[in-house]
Amino acid sequence: MDRISQMLSDYNVLSAFWMTVQLTVWGALGALVLGTIVTVMRVSPVAVFSKAAAFYTNVVLYTPLTLIAFFFAFGVYMKMRISLVPLSSPHVTHSFLMGVVALAVYHSSLVAESLRSGINTVPAGQAEAARAIGLDFGQSLREVILPQAFRGSIAPLGNTMIALCKNTTVVATIGVAESALVMKEMIEMYADLIVPIFVIMATGFVILTLPLGLVFTWWSKRAAVLR
């Protein structure tokens, strides 16, 4: 017990999980925005946009997140010298931001697929009615289709958010000090405590993802469109 408390004073597990929460929240926001844009492009009447969106979704969906994280942390930031903040900012800011961007990009494809499935739950009559009253593509999407599609895709979106929360561990590979990296370091320093370390970290994720799942289940039931 003493060694566990000694270890917990050496390694800040809470701040590692705080990092996980931050990555999840910002990554989720980015994924929602990007995913919505991609979905709109995908269902747009302009073939170039829908083809580009389909290509993007599939390529991102079939590439391991580890590689996407490398691409942003190394290819974009280190080689292209592009970042969301001035290049003179501290390196930890850059790796955090690139972690967020990688998570947002990777999960935007899942969000796009969720929304597309949500759009498929909207009966054709809704779109026809929207057109019949004279709404154009943008208006019918904004006023009629997407609001219903969002409600229909809350359940798969919830799963995407849970997946995102767990996938934040992958950005450990680009050196963001979140839970997986801290766990690895703790195991290397306190080899004898490997089982308690795993239990602590795993419990942390159960605490994070379980309420997320419950909230989304409740929400999707509440928002379900009665037909």
Cβ proximity to other proteins: between 3 and 166 the closer is: 166
Residue 112 Rama label (left phi>0; alpha psi -120 to 50; beta): alpha
Smallest gap from Cβ 44 to other proteins, in A, equals 8
Alpha-carbon radius of gyration of the chain = 21
Residue closer to other proteins (CB basis): 100 or 179: 179
Quote the least distance from Cβ 63 to other proteins, whole Å.
5
Instruction: Give the Cα-Cα-Cα angle 78, 82, 83 (nearest 5 degrees).
Output: 100
Query: For 11, phi and psi rounded to 5 degrees?
Result: -115, 130
Structure-token pair, residue 196: 């308690």
Q: What angle do CA 184, 189, 194 make, to 5 degrees?
A: 65
Residue 201: its H or E element: helix 194-223
Least Å distance between CB 5 and other proteins? 21
Shortest distance, CB of residue 98 to other proteins, whole angstroms? 12
- Compare residues 22 and 117 and give the one whose CB is closer to other proteins: 117
